[in-house]
Amino acid sequence: MSESHSDALVLFGVTGDLAHKMIFPALYALAKNGALRVPVVGVASPKWSLEQLRSRVEDSIQRSGGIDDQDALRRLTALLGYVSGDYKDLGTFAAIKKALGAAVRPAHYLAIPPSLFETVIKGLAAANLTEQARVIVEKPFGRDLASARALNRVAQAAFPEDSIFRIDHFLGKEAIMNILYFRFANSFLEPIWNRNYVASVQVTLAEDFGVRGRGAFYETAGCLRDVIENHLFQIVALLAMEPAAGRSYGAVHDEKAKVFQAMRPLRPEDMVRGQYAGYRDESNVAKDSDVETFCALRLYVDSWRWEGVPWYLRSGKCLAQTATEILVELKAPPQRLFADSAPTTGRRNYLRIRLSPSSAIALAARVKRAGKEFVGDQRELYLLDEQPGEETAYTRLLGDAMAGDGALFSREDAVEAAWAVVDPVLKTHPPVRPYERQGWGPREADALIASDGGWHNFGPEEESV
């Protein structure tokens, strides 16, 4: 282990759902590959015994895919410690310090509600637990521009910027990382990757399920805050950024931040908000709720490369499929040499990138039919890019944070610039429109994109359009 590697992990919220569903399986994977050899101190308010925590960890791993390495499980559970206490009580932080023993470079993971971030960070600082330490903060980092700035001030008063890891699990997915690689490892894209050849870009993150008992959370967030301002904006940044000056993660962050800074602030007419039928009957949801479970945006990146190109983003719950796709539609040839080279119906040439549930890249091109006539059909060149045994997002991000590698995390300037784009419509926005379950959202979303050929509504394992 290098001297810069964290020598302990303090996991706040260790009894919560996030730890059970995502973090424990990630720790198990790290233990299996020998990358976890430091104490893991769980912190939460329930008065659990260490045996209860170990049982919770084992149950999590069993549910997430099964236990296939008993030695790794034993190594993980042997590293566990537990501190019970109130986050507002400084005595809790004194107990954490005692539990850390000789560790001097802990990583503090805040897997807790955002309302507690400031309390815990200030408690860590008061207990002198921030020197040489790192803090890992789960999204959402703020709920608007003002709160993001305030939280940044609190975090930076206790930790240097390069020790603050704002985690968005989306950035740790293999398919998301492949966007950056695909763009800049292949020379054929660069000549056409600009306003001269790209007509529009669509990004869709669809889920076929509802809030799944998280009504109380969704009432405070909504689709725009929960998915679009972070996940989909990150995809836009990777697609729209300029080549970085080098391979350092700081250089990549610089270019991504420039994309957020170039995004035109949203207006109410740029968005459609929807709410699926039955949402107001979910537990902990207001009977007159105006919270959106679907959101569609028309976005512009006012840069030299992308001036005038519309970016259409949408996400929603209870839609027809669970999948994430990108569609980059190209402009028609400048001269209509063949009658069907610029089709009046259907799509022109496009690049399609499927990010989930499978990972694939497809390029659509027109191919001549057999015979004397110069007419053809559009066909996809399709590459399925599934790799068995891929590292999960949380495994990658947790390992990177403890190693001090900030490549897949968000930086202060990018976080604030992204909030500045959506800030104008967080309070001033159109009302939600109802939509039926298992469709593609409210019909008003179709009008938003009608001039650019409509939404690409895909199937579950689509290989052609």
How is residue 108 annotated by DSSP?
E
Tokens of 207: 């889920």
Instruction: Note whether 223 and 331 are within 8 A (CB).
Output: no
How far is the CA of 25 from the CAs of 63, 236, 278, in angstroms? Answer: 9, 29, 33
Give, for 8, the enclosing helix (H) or strand (E). Answer: strand 8-12
Q: In angstroms, how far is CA 299 from the centroid of its own chain? A: 18
171 Rama class: left (phi>0) / alpha (psi -120 to 50) / beta: alpha
Q: What are the start-end ranges of the E strands in 254-369?
A: 271-276, 294-300, 310-316, 323-330, 350-356, 360-368
Enumerate the β-bridge partners of residue 435. Answer: 276
Whether the ω angle into residue 333 lies within 30 degrees of 0, i.e. cis, is no
Catalytic residue (one of 20, 231, 253, 429): 231
Tokens of 303: 């840069």
Residues in contact with 363: Cβ distance below 8 Å, sequence separation at least 6, in sequence order: 349, 350, 351, 352, 380, 381
DSSP assignment of 267-284: -GGGEEEEEETTGGGSTT
Residues in contact with 147: Cβ distance below 8 Å, sequence separation at least 6, in sequence order: none
Enumerate the β-bridge partners of residue 361. Answer: 353, 383
**Distance from the first to the final alpha carbon of the chain:** 49
User: Is 169 assigned a catalytic role?
Assistant: no
Give, for 457, the enclosing helix (H) or strand (E). Answer: none
- Whole-number Å distance between alpha carbons of 330 and 460: 24
Dihedral sign of CA atoms 426, 429, 433, 438 in order: negative
Residues designated as active site: 231
